[in-house]
Structures are given as C-alpha cells and as structure tokens.
Chains A and B, each alone.
Chain A
Amino acid sequence: MTVGPRLFSILRQGTCLIASIHTALDDSQLLRFQEDLIATIGRDRARGVVIDVAALDVLDSFATSTLRDIGEMARLRGAATVIVGIQPDVAIAMVRLGLRTGVLETALDLEEGLALLGDRMAGSPAARR
C-alpha cells in the first residue's frame, strides 16, 4: 500500500486497488500518481483498479489522457480500470472540450465502480471468485 502525501491514496481491497485523488492535481502530480499507481498494480498483482476522481475540479485534456494512459498500462498488466466520481459539471466540460475516456469504463461512484469491476472479473475467463 502506498500513500502519497495527502494528494492521493492507493488502497488495496481484495484483488482490486482503490485509487482516490484527494485534491486538484497539477500535471507533475498527475504523472506521479500515474507512476505510483502503475507500480502498485504491478507489485500487488491487482486485477482491477477503481480511480476516484470526484475531487478533481477539472478533467482537462492532460488529466484525461493521463487516465487513459493509466488504463492502457493497467490493461497490459492484466488489470481492468474503472473511473468513478466524474461530476455532472465536469462531464459536461469534458464533452464540450471534445474529450472522451475512450476505452475506459466509467461508473457513478466507488460502489458502482467496484460492482462493475466485479462483473468484469467474473465475466472474464480468468475469473477467480
């Protein structure tokens, strides 16, 4: 378990990781979040990751592309990623900006996100549960 200095936290729950961002992050901090998270996924052999972005005031092009990168890297390490907590105003700004999360899955909140991961992991051939 890695805990960043107040900016974000990465907690383990079963075979999943719950990564929560606690405050608005600048680009360097986002990159550090990415590094920490990917390292943790590898170390813990996590099967799924829920990233809670509810505290992000803005999801601009950089933040979105970072999330997509995380999703892609996690996939290569065998973990599914779900983004949760995108607020209505943030979602609207994102689509007006022209952003999509692409292949990333999204869910309303942590609970929904974990449920979705459960579905995915149960549905995949390698599911153990």
Chain B
Amino acid sequence: MRSVPRVAGGGADSRDGGSLPGMPAPAPAGPPPERRRPLDVAALIPIVRRIVAARVPDRATADDLVQETLARVLAAVERIEPGMVEPYAIVTARNVVATMWRDQDRQRRHQHRVVDLRPPQLPDEDVLAEEDRAAMAEALTRLSERERSTLLAHEVSGQDTHSLAAELGSTAGAVAAQLNRTRARLRVEYLLAADRVEPPTPRCRPVLLALSSGDRRRQREVDAARHLLECEVCARLSEPLMGRGRSRDDEVRVAVHADADVVAARQAARDLATRLGFSPTDLTGIATAVSEVVRNIVRFADAGEVLVELLDSPRRGIRIIARDSGPGIPDVQEALRDGYSTYRGLGLGLPGARRLMDEFAVASEPGRGTTVTMTKWREDA
C-alpha cells in the first residue's frame, strides 16, 4: 500500500488512475495553472473506502460518503501541503461520516417538530420531555469521558464521593469539586443543546461556565457582565444560570423589565443597606438614587439588571451596579448635567442620583448599553 500519495513533478496530467465513478470531473483536464498540483486521487480510494466501510455498514451509503470525501479533498487540494494529502483524506473521511451521523441524529430529533406543527398550540408534554431528554443526552456527550462517567456514577448509580475518590485515586473533596464543575458544565451544555446554538464567540463558554458555577471571582476575570450585555446568545441563555452562587447574602440581583422592578430594586437596596446601619436619611437617599437610575433602564432599554452589593473595603458601604443593553447614552457628560431630560421626568435622573451618592460613574456605548455604578460609604465605618 502506498503510504503517501506522490505529487507528480512537472506539469504532466497525472490522472492515471481512471475516472471516479459518479463524480464530476474534479479539475479541468487541460494544462493546469501553475499552482495546481496534479493529484493521484485514485490512490486515495482504498484507504478512504476502508475508513468509511469500517463505520458505515450500508454499502450504498458508504459509496456516497467515499465520493463526498474525495470531492472535498480535491476541492481543498490547493491548500494541502504536499505529503499531507493522505492524512487529510483520512480526517475528511471521518468528518464526513460524523457529519452524516449528526444529520441523521438531527433529523431524528427534529422529526417531532415536523409533526408538532400540525396539532396547534397545546404544548405537548411528551414533546417537551423528549426535547429535554435529547438536549440532556447531547449535553452529556459533550462532557469528557471521565467527567461523564464520574457524574453518572454519582447521580445515577448513587455512588458516593468517597468510593469514587478511591476508584479515581483522588480525595472525596476533589471529587466533589470536580462534580460541581461537571454539573456546571453540564448545565451550560444542556442550555446550548436545548437552544440548538453554538456559542458565537470563544468567550461565551467561559462566561457561561463562570455563571453556571456561581464563581464570582471567575466571573470578574472573564468580565461576564460586560459579555452578557454584548452577546445576545449568552444573555438569553444565562438567565436560568443567574441565580447560581447566590449563597452570598450580601448581594442582591434584580432583573429589570417593568415599572414594578424599579420599586423592587430600590427596596432591595434599602434592605441591604439597612444592615450596614445607614441613617434613615442615607437609606432614603440610596433608595431614591436607585429609583432614578433603574427607571432609566425601564424607559430607555426595556431590560437590564441591578446588582446591589455590600462592600467591606476600603470602607463599609453599598454599591449599586445598574446595567442595561439599551441604545446607550450618546453624550454621558451631557446626561450628567442638570436639566438633561428625554422623557417626562424633571431631567434630574442621573445628576440627581449622583448628588445622593458618594461615587458615581456612567459607562455607556451607543448601541451596546449603559452601566451605572454608584457607591455610598458609611460615614464613620
């Protein structure tokens, strides 16, 4: 068997292996342009066929896939380094087979949707459950073998962390930590699979993972908040993940969609601030500032989020971060001036809130959104 398909030297037509059945002539037979290297495609056939046949029992399908593979190799031949054609063909063959599987799988999974369109409205529980199962199965396949088997052993077979640790030559604590990470990943992969999306950017998965694991340090590292404003896919997917890691009781998150959320946000801020012993005057000032800032979200951005957190250093205080993914403020300086108003308020929203707080910052990007960060310190803490 030839190990490496030779590239014939010179410009000779090297299609010496006969034509490929059922395949359009891959290249003009005439004198090729300089950069075109003649290729002994026929030499690839045995190995490609062997690879495909090993995976696909049905002969007709296998033939199709061999053709497909060769077509792809020929199409790419100009980009392939001499000497790399055979490995490239092998990889391509595998991919083609996998793609077919995926397509079949997808078809199978989507079949119910075709059916689903006919009976109107009523969400069919079975269908939902089936989708759910499919998404979970898909998510599981995206875990590594080790992650998957450990998780299943624990969750399904009920094996405890100690015996798992013994098997894996690890400690119970490490296994528990790994399980937590795996669950976090599984949640992310499940959401992606259920939504049938691939994350549009390389930052998406790390951000979702950080949210899923509730790891605040990690979330800061990957600047999760910023990313959620910028990435629609993640913003949508992250909603069920947002509640994670809320074991901390020194912060509150309020999603903002409607009028009523303005009241909810300012009350959440007041409640949290009360714990630091702010005076009634300061508490009301904080609540009022939150009210102004959050109203802007409802008015201009439709949706956003408010994070209220207590601070320990450099002093005790409370910080409010109000984010939205709205149209942004074209001129922040202008917006901070008294009298700026684009709605039926008194034009005191931002400048007024700034006067009520100790620190106040607005970051805004037109088309991207606005983040208002404001802090009130305890006077004598």
Contacts and interface: CB of A to CB of B under 8 A. Distances in A.
Contact of B291 (A58, A87, A88, A92): A58
Contacts of B266: 57-58
B284 A93 contact: yes
Nearest to A59: B288
Secondary structure of the B contact surface, majority rule? helix
Interface string A51-66: 0000001111110110
A65 B352 CA distance: 14
A89 B352 contact: no
Given A57-B270, A61-B345, A61-B348, A93 B263 contact: no
B338 A98 contact: yes
A61 B267 contact: no
A24 B288 CA distance: 12
B323 interface: no
A116 interface: no
Interface string A24-63: 1111110000000000000000000000000001111110
A25 B353 CA distance: 19
A88 B289 CA distance: 17
A29 B195 CA distance: 37
A26 B259 contact: yes
Contact of A64 (B270, B280, B289, B346): B346
B346 A89 contact: no
A94 B346 CA distance: 12
Contact of B281 (A26, A60, A88): A88
The interface size bin for chain B is: 20 to 34
Interface in B242-294: 259-260, 262-263, 266-267, 270, 279-281, 283-285, 287-289, 291-292
B355 A25 contact: no
A89 B348 contact: no
Interface in B337-371: 338, 344-349, 351-353, 355-356
B270 A61 contact: no
B37 interface: no
Nearest to A97: B352
Contact of A61 (B260, B279, B346): B346
Interface string B286-305: 01110110010010000000
Contacts of B284: 57-58, 87, 89-90, 92-93
A96 interface: yes
B292 A97 contact: yes
B355 A97 contact: yes
Given A61-B346, A93-B285, 10 more contacts: A24-B263, A28-B260, A57-B270, A58-B287, A64-B346, A89-B283, A97-B352, A97-B355, A97-B356, A98-B355
15 contacts: A28-B260, A29-B259, A57-B267, A58-B287, A58-B288, A59-B288, A61-B348, A61-B352, A92-B284, A93-B285, A93-B287, A94-B288, A97-B353, A98-B338, A98-B346
Interface of A: 24-29, 57-62, 64-65, 87-90, 92-94, 96-99
